């Protein structure tokens, strides 16, 4: 393959719901461009894209796959993305380094929830979109309904380039209203006959052609003037207008294909090669400090590593985009994120598992290298003297969590290394070693996402693992004021230990005033603030310590020790051992000994006084509550609503959005453990949801009682 300049390179993401036919389309594209001699199939497990063992096992794409080919003297870099919402990380990564998105639709199902999800990401990242209606040869294909749904969801920016002459098993022809020709295929597909449009189709074709011409002219003043003068445009002029419409997301062209029978794939590739924007035409990426970087070969060499993969028979492969300049085999670069040097010992162009060595790559191109010693996903590598650093890709919040452990304790260290490596391959697998919960928590996008990881760990790395329901990170707090004092006294020969602390605890909220007096059991306690310390707790909320000690009852040098004692207990609350938060402590009195008082004495006295007061202050458990947004088909709204209400959800709002109902709710984390699986079951996989931490709220009394009993039972077992 020859070396291409930035204005000859086109980077395209291939998106679509599971079953829309992305992998099959890629096979046909590679076949048409001569990269492969025979088309594989998903059923036969011999496609170029799905070559990992886990993909063959499940029959789904798990990883995004880079596919590179040449067409019409252009370099086309396609990234075939997984369709399942569980693997949305591949979509986000792909869109971050490509310039146009092909969104496939299965003509049997039309616009699906996955279509909307993927479109939202193109919207967020401002990427041009082309809709490709696939599987028009299926018995249940319905192009007209699919087109209607596209207009309902995405408005009048949806503009047809093609429409099928016949749909279903007899599908073999489309009318192209840009070319104003009919394309017809023999049963084996491939190269079509190019025919004049039949008389019975000419009126419809002309009407759609006029609509397309008008849409193309809207995006260029010169074209608009010519359109008004002459009423039409030449094909090349229309291409210019369509390209501008794509770049501004003012036009979403619609194509028709049967990828499985290789019909209209060549024409789609021709459109991509001729019309979609090249790297040099698109918005310049920004560095972390906001500097624009032009994709020019004359600039300083800089690459961004967007994907890392451990591949059969090769090991670790780093996929990168050349952001600026050009890179050659043997180049020495500096990893700006890790301040380390790397050598590009080999450069490859890839088409799935097919790799071809190349000597150099220019700005805008996508390539791969191997055996980088200290580079991770999201790192920027520059030629010496260049300081570019590109932003890390932002991924969606996880929505499924499980505690993970090795079945054999001796495998724990090895498992930790494997999980770290797998996070590099898919950043939406997130691993947390929770000191609080005393568990390793694995976060992901859904049950299938985590099941895939389990399969890989057990089959590829030979480590048996198990998942458990993770503990919930509850918080403890108080609801009223209470007072306690504690004397720590110990004498065991020689110097003893003595410290006495009197304190008051009360619930804390931001901006609350400090009372002058407290009254407990008919006794009044006056407060005179000498010093206030606010500690922002790592787990949220605050601990506020007010020093109100008068008359030198406790020397100031022991106050830090008292604070340490408070922190000891706030890190392990008296109710369930959970972190405590939002407590104000007023230390107002105490006693010390001129010889036996020391730091440990006041630390222990402070800790025990706090524990006693906390238990008398109306202690309550708080639970994490999440904002949940569910996108659900209208006919399944009732089932989803009922299920959420059974999960103690508070429904915050409902609205219709692009053919789906959007349901917003607040739901306790404890009730969301299996939600992704249940939602899929309730809706036949047609709904999706997102969740994000909102706040901590009080646990209902009956549930708190149950949790306290469970904790006490656990403590007895441990004792």
CB atoms within 10 A of CB 650: 13
Assess whether pLDDT exceeds 80 at residue 395: yes
Among 185-199, 214-228, 255-269, 432-446, where is mean pLDDT lowest?
A: 214-228
Residues 557 and 419 in one domain: no
Residues 563 and 632 in one domain: no
Describe the strand order of the beta sheet including 193-195 as a list of residue ranges. Answer: 162-164, 173-176, 181-184, 193-195
Residues 548 and 686 in one domain: no
pLDDT at 712: 85
Assess whether pLDDT exceeds 60 at residue 133: yes
Residues 541 and 504 in one domain: yes
pLDDT at 52: 82
Out of 281, 303, 328, pick the residue that ends a domain: 281
Assess whether pLDDT exceeds 70 at residue 719: no
Classify residue 717: in a domain, yes or no: no
Residues 35 and 78 in one domain: yes
Assess whether pLDDT exceeds 70 at residue 681: yes
pLDDT at 63: 87
pLDDT at 659: 66
- Tell me the whole-structure pTM to 2 decimals: 0.86
Among 12-21, 181-190, 508-517, 654-663, where is mean pLDDT lowest?
A: 654-663
pLDDT digit string, tens, across residues 510-549 = 999 988 999 998 899 999 999 999 999 999 899 999 999 9
Per the structure block, which two tokens stand in for 652?
Answer: 């915050």
The three-state DSSP-derived secondary structure of 270-305 is: HHHHHCCCCHHHCCCCEECCCCECCCCCCCCCEEEE
CA distances from 317 to 346, 428, 640 (A): 11, 19, 42
Residues 160 and 111 in one domain: yes
Assess whether pLDDT exceeds 80 at residue 256: yes
CA distances from 13 to 127, 130, 365 (A): 10, 10, 14
> Domain residues for 658?
622-702
pLDDT at 718: 65
pLDDT category at 273 given cuts 50, 70, 90 is very high
pLDDT category at 431 given cuts 50, 70, 90 is very high
Residues 486 and 435 in one domain: no
pLDDT at 658: 66
pLDDT digit string, tens, across residues 180-224 = 999 999 998 999 999 999 999 999 999 999 999 999 998 888 888
Residues 610 and 626 in one domain: no
Among 95-99, 129-133, 347-351, where is mean pLDDT lowest?
A: 347-351
Residues 526 and 606 in one domain: yes
Residues 81 and 181 in one domain: yes
**Crossing angle of helices 235-247 and 199-217, rounded to 10°:** 50
Residues 577 and 522 in one domain: yes
Residue 76 and residue 278 in contact, taking contact as beta carbons nearer than 8 Å: no
Classify residue 83: in a domain, yes or no: yes
Residue 566: its H or E element: helix 559-570
Q: What is the DSSP letter of 390?
A: B
CA distances from 308 to 81, 356, 450, 455 (A): 15, 18, 19, 19
Classify residue 512: in a domain, yes or no: yes
Per DSSP, the three-state class of 262 is coil
Question: Domain tally for the chain?
Answer: 4
């Amino acid at each position: 393959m020859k070396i291409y300049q930035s204005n000859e390179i086109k980077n395209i993401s291939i998106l679509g719901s599971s079953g829309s036919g992305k992998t099959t389309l890629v096979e046909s594209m590679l076949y048409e461009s001569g990269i492969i001699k025979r088309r594989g199939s998903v059923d036969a497990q011999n496609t170029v894209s799905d070559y990992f063992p886990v993909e063959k096992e499940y029959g789904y794409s798990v990883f995004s796959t880079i596919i590179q080919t040449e067409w019409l003297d252009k370099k086309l870099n396609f990234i075939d993305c997984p369709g399942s919402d569980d693997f949305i990380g591949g979509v986000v990564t792909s869109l971050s380094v490509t310039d146009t998105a092909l969104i496939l639709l299965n003509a049997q199902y039309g616009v699906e929830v996955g279509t909307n999800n993927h479109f939202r990401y193109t919207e967020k990242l401002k990427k041009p979109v082309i809709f490709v209606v696939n599987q028009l040869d299926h018995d249940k294909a319905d192009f007209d309904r699919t087109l209607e749904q596209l207009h309902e969801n995405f408005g009048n920016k949806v503009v047809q380039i093609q429409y099928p002459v016949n749909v279903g098993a007899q599908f073999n022809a489309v009318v192209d209203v840009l070319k104003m020709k009919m394309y017809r295929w023999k049963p084996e597909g491939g190269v079509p006959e190019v025919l004049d449009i039949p008389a019975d189709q000419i009126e419809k074709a002309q009407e759609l052609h006029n609509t397309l011409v008008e849409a193309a002219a809207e995006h260029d003043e010169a074209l608009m003037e010519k359109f008004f003068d002459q009423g039409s445009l030449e094909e090349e002029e229309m291409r210019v207008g369509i390209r501008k419409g794509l770049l501004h997301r003012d036009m979403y062209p619609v194509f028709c294909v049967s990828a499985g029978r290789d019909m209209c794939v060549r024409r789609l590739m021709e459109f991509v090669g001729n019309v979609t924007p090249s790297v040099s035409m698109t918005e310049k990426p920004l560095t972390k400090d906001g500097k624009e970087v032009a994709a020019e070969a004359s600039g300083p060499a800089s690459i961004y590593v967007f994907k890392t993969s451990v591949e059969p028979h090769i090991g670790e492969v780093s996929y990168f985009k050349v952001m600026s300049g050009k890179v050659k085999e043997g180049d020495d670069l500096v990893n700006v994120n890790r301040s380390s040097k790397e050598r590009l010992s080999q450069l490859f162009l890839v088409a799935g598992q097919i790799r071809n060595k190349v000597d150099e790559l220019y700005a805008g191109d996508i390539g791969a290298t191997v055996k980088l010693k200290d580079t991770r996903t999201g790192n920027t590598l520059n030629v010496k003297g260049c300081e570019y650093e590109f932003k890390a890709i932002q991924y969606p919040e996880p929505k499924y969590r499980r505690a993970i452990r090795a079945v054999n304790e001796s495998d724990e260290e090895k498992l930790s290394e494997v999980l770290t490596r797998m996070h590099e391959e898919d950043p939406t697998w997130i691993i947390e070693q929770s000191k609080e919960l005393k568990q390793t928590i694995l976060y992901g996008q859904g049950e299938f996402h985590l099941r895939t990881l389990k399969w890989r760990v057990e089959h590829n790395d030979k480590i048996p693992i198990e998942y458990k329901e993770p503990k919930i990170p509850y918080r403890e707090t108080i609801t009223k004021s209470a007072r306690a004092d504690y004397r720590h006294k110990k004498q065991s020969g020689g110097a003893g230990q003595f410290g006495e602390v009197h304190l008051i605890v009360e619930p804390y909220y931001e901006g609350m005033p400090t009372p002058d007096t407290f009254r407990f059991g008919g006794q009044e306690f006056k407060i005179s603030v000498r010093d206030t310390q606010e500690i922002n707790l790592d787990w949220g909320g605050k601990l506020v310590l007010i020093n109100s000690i008068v008359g030198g009852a406790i020397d100031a040098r022991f106050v830090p020790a008292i604070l340490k004692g408070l922190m000891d207990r706030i890190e392990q609350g008296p109710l369930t051992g959970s972190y405590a938060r939002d407590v104000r402590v007023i230390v107002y009195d105490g006693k010390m000994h001129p010889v036996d008082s020391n730091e440990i004495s006041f630390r222990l006295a402070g800790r025990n006084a706090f524990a006693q007061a906390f238990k008398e202050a109306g202690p309550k458990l708080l639970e994490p509550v999440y904002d949940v947004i569910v996108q659900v088909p209208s006919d399944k709204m009732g089932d989803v609503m009922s299920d959420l209400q059974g999960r103690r959800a508070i429904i915050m709002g409902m609205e219709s959005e692009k053919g789906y109902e959007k349901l917003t709710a607040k739901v306790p984390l404890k009730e969301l453990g299996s939600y992704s699986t249940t939602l899929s079951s309730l809706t036949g996989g047609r709904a999706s949801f997102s969740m994000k931490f909102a706040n901590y709220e009080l646990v209902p009394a009956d549930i708190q009682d149950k949790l306290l009993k469970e904790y006490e039972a656990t403590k007895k077992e441990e004792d």
